[in-house]
Amino acid sequence: MVDHKIRIDFNEGNVLESVTYTLVSEFDLRPNVLRADIDGDGSGFMLLSIVGEEENVCRAMARIRDMGFSVRELSGHIIHDTERCWSCGACVSLCPTRSIHHEEGTMRVLLDTGTCIACGSCINACSVKAIQLEL
């Protein structure tokens, strides 16, 4: 079982289709919508965390692409520049999933990209711009 972060882009023509239903019913995957932004013109994107068999995830991505969506796997949807970060911790209390925490002992600030839902709350709390979203 691997956790993939996928970005799916919509347009006016396919905004009403249920991508997540397809992922669950046809490919036995467990999608979690981390973030979804849809504009008034019907265009937008959805950020999914998908847990399932590697092969199924690949087939599912191909299937969604066939349905007319633009699909892109994100390697690191959030980037923590550990050189820039001075481990103050201003971001720690803002993270809704507690993906940012102090390392026991050293008190260094660490970011767990696996549980990060890309809400972006930490971005403007950082005084040295050490965190960036790459969606």
Task: Please give the span between the terminal C-alpha atoms of the chain, in angstroms, as a whole number.
Answer: 23
Residues 99-128 that bind other proteins (CB under 8 A): 102, 106-109, 121, 124-125, 127-128
Site string for other proteins, 28-67 (x = CB under 8 A): ----------------------------------------
Instruction: Judge whether 35 and 117 are in contact, CB under 8 Å.
Output: yes
User: What is the size of the binding site for other proteins (CB under 8 A)?
Assistant: 20
In the complex, what is the shortest distance from the CB of residue 20 to other proteins, in angstroms, rounded to a whole number?
29
92 in contact with other proteins (CB under 8 A): yes
Q: Which two tokens stand for residue 48?
A: 């999914």
Locate all alpha helices (DSSP H) within the chain, ordered by sequence. 19-27, 54-66
Q: How many CA atoms lie within 13 A of 46 on its CB side?
A: 21
Choosing from 90, 97, 114, 134, the residue that interacts with other proteins (CB under 8 A) is: 90
